[in-house]
Amino acid sequence: MVNTDETTAAVSFDDVRKVYNDYFVAVDEFNAHIEDGEFITVVGPSGSGKSTLLRMIAGLETITAGDIRIGDESIAGVEPQDRGIAMVFQNYALYPHMSVEKNMAYGLRLTTDLADDEIERRVRETADMMGIEDELDSKPSELSGGQQQRVATGRAIVRDPKIFLMDEPLSNLDAKLKVHMRTELQRLQEELGTTTIYVTHDQHEALTMSDRIIVLDEGELQQFAPPDEVYNNPANRFVADFIGSPAMNFFEVASNGSTLVGDGFEYDIPARIADELDGSAGDDLELGIRPEDIDYDATGTNTVQATVEVVEVAGSDNFVYLDIEGTECRVRVPGDVKPAVGEQVTLAFDPADIHLFDERSGENLLADLRTTEPGTAEADTGADAAAAEQETEEVA
Amino acid sequence: MGQANRQRDANANGSTLVDLSKSSTREWIAGSAFALPYLLIAGTFLFGPLLLALYMSLYDWNALDPAQSQFLGLENYRILLSDPDFWNALWNTVYFVVLTVPPIVVGSLLLALGVNREVRGQWLLRTVFFSPYVLTVAVVGLLWTELFNASGLVSYYLGGGNWLTSHDLAMPAIAVATIWWQLAFNFIILLAARQNVSDRLYEAAKLDGASSWRMMRDITIPQMQNPLVFVVIVTFVNSFQVFGQPFIMTDGGPSFSTTTIVLYLYDTAFTGRQFGYAAAVGYVLFMILIAVSATSYYFLGGDD
């Protein structure tokens, strides 16, 4: 049995692999270490293996190879109820025929020797914390989605686990409630200090909630880093494309010493970037730049000409969809900028904001450069700003 | 507001009312048209016979010339209560119900839960378990008559000679045939019900520390409550109404030990020509079924 003395615990994954039916690899050679008390978000598209990862920690899926440790102990052979974990499911998985109180008390009754009045006290205390104290006698079907979500979270909290596992717990809520519950979950996690592993396909949740983000694709770890780093310095093209809304712009380019040549434009790069590219990729490069990093209606040299195709009005910001010789380019502009369709505009890319990817491997060729660059701190604010803006859009 | 405007508004409101009234009439006609086929069929084959039987039960009914029937009031019911053949048939039926309802309900539940597990050849098991239900009562009766006769497989392995001519074994033999036949229908209903229970509930219960037995008690059974109530009631009704199996396998014998209420009703009506009295027997059975269904529903507590 996993040590239960600690109130919270670290989690380590050592070469974890999950294969279904001897052929489908859901998680492959996954290695990571989650610190005690961290809020970790696992993000990725459908089928990327994020829920499988969570379910292996919970004991709902067997581990094909490798090991997961909670604290210092391997969870191999440890029953789910003895792992010191509690899980919140996507559809809450509340027992429909039991009252809220019974739902919350069920785990305590089965796994502890606590007296009934102590269980009742704990349930009431947690229900108070979650704001559902008046609903203890209600059945789940009598509650709103938000209340059901609170009950599911309360059911996890009342067990006082060392680790919270949350499998897309907010995905069934409407946008406004989702933003509210997101804040509430963060507040609870900070209050309780419990290690939390939170699975979502929603990059906004990942950016706004977590200490660090695990990005998965096709069962493989793409990046494990704080939100700012994932946003500003993506490890590869997949992460760059998946994180951020609207997505990063990509242009196929070839390197010609200090110039990148794409369809319809040439872009001069500074010597430090050219040096970084020296000897790599050559013709098979992709230039990436986020929509908010593009200087719209620029003047001077080293610019790119584009034609306005669509203008999407989104309140505080507008999104302008441009055509650069057959390649689409999205630009985020202030709300008062509304160009006419067909208008010719001039764009400029700040070299500090560009990303260059190896077209074949997807690797971010400037990752090391940006990590050591003094200007990175400035860029770091980008993830927060983008997440805040996305949040505003969601509520709107 | 001027006089002209008021007049215009009044006209406008009037036309809205007329439109609403026209629309609700159209809806009523459409609704009735959809309900009519059911009402005609149910009226002709259910409610009509039900009322006619009640009417017949108050008469010494003359089937050849109903106009000659003699009104008896509740006399048929009074005779019935002191008729030893009726009581014999009633007790035989209750015995049959006791022999069949628990095994059918529990057996179909266990089969459904067992087959729901992911086992190799699952589809084959489902097909095998369901296949008896497609047989008619005549086939089931003849098949089991062969199995239970003196040279059949049952007496070969278990002894007892011809079970169907044994006073003690005839009813259990009919019960075995019925369980084999009726299990399939309930099995399918309960399998579908089990498959409707979300796997997430079991996963949540597993994390809460529930054993397999606790999951069965706390998740499976409560979640299958309504289908279980349905299965219990339908099995009670079917068993109380048993007719085909004893009619084919034993014809009520030996010495009336397998004469059930419906078989007695049939004999009274079509052999004894006492249609009024048979209708009274039918009505008593009807009342018993209502009482049993209501009791089952009350104790098992269905939601719907």
pLDDT tens, position by position, A195-252? 999 999 888 889 999 999 999 999 999 999 999 999 999 999 999 999 998 899 999 9
CATH fold of A11-232 reads: Rossmann fold (3.40.50)
Does B209 sit within 8 Å of A107, measured CB to CB? Answer: yes
Query: Which of B200, B209, B218 is opposite residue A93, by nearest beta carbon?
Result: B200
**pLDDT class of A381 with cuts at 50, 70, 90:** very low
A22-73 pLDDT, tens per residue?
889 999 999 999 999 999 999 999 999 999 999 999 999 999 999 999 988 9
Contact B206 A95 (CB under 8 A): no
Among the partner residues B203, B222, B225, nearest to A60 by beta-carbon distance = B203
Question: Is A87 in Cβ contact with B204 (below 8 Å)?
Answer: yes
Considering only CB atoms, which chain B residues are within 8 Å of A85? 207
pLDDT: which is higher, B7 or A269 = A269
Question: In angstroms, what separates the C-alpha of A146 from chain B's closest C-alpha?
Answer: 19
- Would you tell me how many other CB atoms lie within 10 Å of the CB of residue B40? 10
pLDDT greater at residue A249 or residue A381 = A249
Closest-CA distance of chain A to residue B196, Å: 13
Among B198, B203, B208, the residue with its CB nearest the CB of A106 is B208
pLDDT digits (tens, 9 = 90+) for B41-51: 999 999 999 99
CB of A96 less than 8 A from some CB of B: yes
Segment A297-313, tens digit of pLDDT:
888 888 999 999 999 99
Q: Check pLDDT > 60 for residue B8.
A: no
Residue A298: per-residue pLDDT: 84
ipTM (interface pTM): 0.81
Nearest by CB to residue A80, choosing from B201, B207, B225, is: B207
pLDDT of A354 above 50: yes
pLDDT bin (cut points 50, 70, 90) of residue A113 is very high
pLDDT computed for residue B253 by the predictor: 82
pLDDT number for residue A375? 43
Cβ proximity of B241 and B266 under 8 Å = no
Q: Residue A287's pLDDT band (boundaries 50, 70, 90)?
A: very high
- Digit-coded pLDDT (tens) for B243-271: 999 999 999 989 999 999 999 999 999 99
Q: Evaluate whether A325 touches A263 at the Cβ level (below 8 Å).
A: yes
At B292 the pLDDT is 92
Is B290 exposed, middle or buried (CB count within 10 Å of its CB: 0-12, 13-18, 19+)?
exposed
B206, A59: Cβ pair inside 8 Å? yes
A contacts of B221 (beta carbons < 8 Å): none
Alpha-helical (H) ranges within A67-174 are 100-111, 116-130, 145-157
How much is the pLDDT for B303? 55
A274, A277, A283, A288: CA torsion to nearest 10: -80
In chain A, what are the domain boundaries?
11-232, 239-395
In angstroms, what CA-CA distances link B19 with A349, B7, B23?
A: 64, 18, 6
Testing the interface with A: which of B208, B219, B220 to mutate, by most A Cβ within 10 A? B208
pLDDT at A377 over 90: no
Are the C-beta atoms of A80 and B207 separated by less than 8 Å? Answer: yes
Q: If you count residue pairs, one on A and one on B, with CB atoms under 8 Å apart, how many are there? A: 54
Tell whether A37 is within 8 A of chain B (Cβ): no
Task: Name the band, by pLDDT with cuts 50, 70 and 90, for residue B13.
Answer: low
| Domain A239-395 in this protein, CATH class | mainly beta
Over pLDDT 70: what percentage of chain A?
Answer: 90
Place domain B82-300 in its CATH homologous superfamily: MetI-like (1.10.3720.10)
B218 with A95: Cβ contact below 8 A:
yes
- Dump pLDDT digits (tens) for A250-274: 999 988 888 889 888 888 988 888 8
Contact check, Cβ <8 Å, A93/B223: no
Is residue B119 classed exposed, middle or buried when 0-12, 13-18 and 19+ CB atoms within 10 A define those classes?
Answer: exposed
pLDDT at B172: 96
Q: Residue B18's pLDDT band (boundaries 50, 70, 90)? A: low
Q: Tell me the per-residue pLDDT of B193-242, one tens digit each, with 9 for 90 and over.
A: 999 999 999 999 999 999 999 999 999 999 999 999 999 999 999 999 99
Q: φ, ψ for residue A235 (rounded to 5)?
A: -70, -30
Distance from CA of A107 to the nearest CA of B (A): 4
Percent of chain A with pLDDT over 90: 63
Q: Select the more confidently predicted residue: A385 or A130.
A: A130
pLDDT computed for residue A300 by the predictor: 80
Q: Is the pLDDT of residue B16 over 90?
A: no
Instruction: Name chain B contacts of A87, Cβ cutoff 8 Å.
Output: 203-204, 207
